[in-house]
Amino acid sequence: MAVDGDAVAPPRSPRGLRGILGGAASPIPPPGRLRTLSLATLANTVGSGLWLAGAALYLTRDVGLSAASVGAGLTIAGLVGLTASVPLGSLADRRDPRTLRAVLQLGQAAVAAAYLLVGSFPVFLVVAVLDALLTSGNLAVRAALVAAVGGPDGRVHAFATLRAVANLGIAVGAGLAGFALAADTHLAYQVLVVGNAMTYLLSAALLLRLPAYPPAQRDRTAAAPRRGRALRDGRFLAVSGASAVLALHWTVLTLVLPLWAVTRAGAPPPVVSAVLLTNTVLTVLLALRLSRGADAAAPAARQLRRAGLVLAAAMLLYAATAGLPTALAVALLLAATVVYTVGDLWHGTAGAGLAYDLAPPDAVGAYQGADAMLAGLARAVGPALLTLVILDGGVPGWLAVAALFAVVGVTVPPLTRWALAGRPSAVAAGKTDHGPADPV
């Protein structure tokens, strides 16, 4: 964790958000370490947008794999990839997370380029597994780096900043991918793959402009963290698990809702793009505003409770689109997405605040790895579970998911009190890095 002199405090007014993209609405922060990290994230996520938009068509139309084999390979790779979160997060606690993340991104560049060599399912599976392992580990290391750059009082602000930047980068990358998809040629797809690989190299170069954060600099008095500590902390895992259940909403937006909108709500296909664009734009504009007040565990728990209730309300609004006239259904889909995005942003920052503040200072990376692993499990089971519950179940399925989100959200504050009670005596007595404990 960064020492006080390295901490990046959140700006006191929206003017501090002005960056190289210009204007108060820009998610790029003022000059400094957070801006450098933001630019590295922007480069990385432009590549992510390129790959997310073009991967399926490249692998099926250009490589010649079947859609079923691509889906099966990605599912297997995703599950295997989860195993890298905690080990690499723990390594970030014992090594410099800046250098470790730069090395991981060099590896990701090589793996991204290796997709050019894919010509059969076995080769695709090997590359996809390596990709998933590096991606999963990189997320845990990134969380440790964010904590080091932001410091105890600025890490949630830094997380929210990077989330807004990431959405901007993905949108730009997806737009650029449109040129390759429109051309639909072997050369165009190769350019897309190489472009994705190059963004990892640029991101790694930008990361190396940050100072090193060796463990001794982050906390000179801390003992070496015990391995496997995060996975044995049942109280932390209970809180993180509740956040992971709420993370099922990501599958709702990206998979279930597009299918529901077209098949059940009767919306024309372009509405799906409008829904996703609404979420992206609002995330860029509101991520920083809605991140306030989630730096410590107690207020973050209350924010996560609000997130659960707001997400539940969004599920009810989505359910209400069934059987409506097309124009009214489209309007309600967009309105529900606005409500959903507020819950989504509250969930993201509150989940980060809890994962950071409930982690011991000497094991932030390992605990973030455990948190990422549980969220990854939710993403893995979400498609099969939610398509069954909502697309097959209809309106009652939406109601069941809404009830789940509401109940889980309400349970977070008591779970957080239980987790805080299990911390060392000084914290249990009501003291944290942020001063006296705030009642949950």
pLDDT in tens, 352-403: 999 999 999 888 889 989 999 999 899 888 888 998 999 899 999 999 999 9
Token pair 């050369």 is found at 187
β partners of residue 431: 436
pLDDT over threshold 50, residue 119:
yes
Q: Mean pLDDT lowest for which of 109-123, 208-222, 248-262, 325-339?
A: 208-222
Instruction: Output the pLDDT for position 15.
Output: 42
Instruction: Output the pLDDT for position 5.
Output: 32
What CATH number should be reported for the domain whose range is 28-215? 1.20.1250.20
pLDDT over threshold 60, residue 114:
yes
Instruction: Output the pLDDT for position 221.
Output: 46
3-state secondary structure the chain: CCCHHHCCCCCCCHHHHCCCCCCCCCCCCCCCHHHHHHHHHHHHHHHHHHHHHHHHHHHHHHCCCCHHHHHHHHHHHHHHHHHHHHHHHHHHHHCCHHHHHHHHHHHHHHHHHHHHHCCCHHHHHHHHHHHHHHHHHHHHHHHHHHHHHHHHHHHHHHHHHHHHHHHHHHHHHHHHHHHHHHHCCHHHHHHHHHHHHHHHHHHHHHHCCCCCCCHHHHCCCCCCCCCCHHHHCHHHHHHHHHHHHHCCHHHHHHHHHHHHHHHCCCCCCHHHHHHHHHHHHHHHHHCCHHHCCCCCHHHHHHHHHHHHHHHHHHHHHHHCCCCCCHHHHHHHHHHHHHHHHHHHHHHHHHHHHHHHHCCCHHHHHHHHHHHHHHHHHHHHHHHHHHHHHHHHCCHHHHHHHHHHHHHHHHHHHHHHHHHHHCCCHHHHCCEECCEECCCC
Instruction: Output the pLDDT for position 408.
Output: 98
**Mean confidence (pLDDT) of the chain:** 86
Instruction: Output the pLDDT for position 437.
Output: 37
Instruction: Output the pLDDT for position 393.
Output: 93
Instruction: Output the pLDDT for position 398.
Output: 97
Mean pLDDT of 345-353: 95
Question: Maximum distance among all alpha carbons in the chain?
Answer: 65
Mean pLDDT of 227-246: 91
pLDDT over threshold 50, residue 74:
yes
Q: What are phi and psi of 170, to 5 degrees?
A: -65, -40
Confidence band of 227 (pLDDT split at 50, 70, 90): low
Q: Mean pLDDT lowest for which of 129-143, 218-232, 302-316?
A: 218-232
Instruction: Output the pLDDT for position 242.
Output: 97
Q: Mean pLDDT lowest for which of 4-18, 209-223, 297-311, 417-431?
A: 4-18
Instruction: Output the pLDDT for position 178.
Output: 83
Mean pLDDT of 14-26: 44
Residues sharing a CB contact under 8 Å with residue 295, sequence separation 6 or more, in sequence order: 152, 153, 155, 156, 157, 353, 357, 434
Token pair 């080091």 is found at 148
pLDDT over threshold 80, residue 132:
yes
Mean pLDDT of 246-258: 91
Mean pLDDT of 426-431: 39
Mean pLDDT of 111-138: 94
Q: Mean pLDDT lowest for which of 19-28, 128-137, 140-149, 327-336?
A: 19-28
Share of the chain above pLDDT 90, in %: 53
Q: Specify whether the CB–CB gap between 298 and 427 falls below 8 A.
A: no
Tell me the pLDDT tens digit for each residue of 290-303.
988 888 999 999 99
Instruction: Output the pLDDT for position 308.
Output: 98
**Both ends of the chain: CA-CA distance in Å?**
25
Residues forming CATH 1.20.1250.20 domain(s) in the chain: 28-215, 229-436
Give me the CATH topology for the region 229-436. Growth Hormone; Chain: A; (1.20.1250)
Mean pLDDT of 222-232: 67
Compute how many other C-beta atoms are within 10 angstroms of the C-beta atom of residue 435: 9
pLDDT over threshold 90, residue 104:
yes
Instruction: Output the pLDDT for position 224.
Output: 52
